[in-house]
Amino acid sequence: MTYEIKRLPTKLYLISPLDVGGNFPARLERALEAGPVAAFQFRVKGIDEHAAALLAEPLQRICADRDVAFIVNDSISLAKRLGADGVHLGQDDGDVRDARDRLGRDVQIGVTCNNSRHAAMEAGETGADYVAFGAFFPSTTKATEHHAELDILTWWQSFFELPCVAIGGITPENCAPLIPAGADFLAVSNAVWSGDEAAAVRAFAAVPGMG
């Protein structure tokens, strides 16, 4: 007799567009009120830390008011400055152990592992709280340098307890196979911010297995 492991619903992990000024705080509020969102990643490029902190603060408050984890992309120092819930590190953005030493035990640390099983295992061994695989589909948010297959999610779930995030070109229309394959979170950006953010969040929430 075979037993199927019962998994929790897959959750939505929003990643900001690069431009988070102007009316973006109102857009974030609309998105978070439209359906369940587990985390929001603050991702900006090419500005100094002081300017980034000013942009981040209202968004962090919006997330805190709705019990949504506020994750800083790339910068351990900005995450520490803001008292963020977490930091997400690319392969060249710093060491998990260093991030843990600087941010403490309670901060969530995620690591981009692309399509590398070795990188994911190494991230787990050094103390990451989650790993991210991708890109599963062509992305308009950033250049697609690595392509991941569904079986990397299934492999990860078979051997490890750390949550895994699927990223890269994910939309409400193409995400369904990622859920039974093993994605604990779907990380999305353009699919939400390129149009009506509330409608997009509702569309993700309607996909079977999302919650």
Give the residue among 103, 100, 199, 178 at the shortest CA–CA distance from 134. Answer: 178
Q: How far apart are CA 25 and CA 60, in angstroms?
A: 10
User: Could you report the per-residue pLDDT of 134-145, keeping only the tens digit for each?
Assistant: 999 987 766 667
Mean pLDDT for 90-99 is: 90
pTM attached to this predicted model? 0.95
Q: How far apart are CA 3 and CA 46, in angstroms?
A: 50
- CATH architecture for residues 11-205: Alpha-Beta Barrel (3.20)
At 115, list the tokens.
């399509």
User: Could you report the per-residue pLDDT of 33-85, keeping only the tens digit for each?
Assistant: 999 999 999 999 999 999 999 999 999 999 999 999 999 999 999 999 999 99
At 131, list the tokens.
């790993």
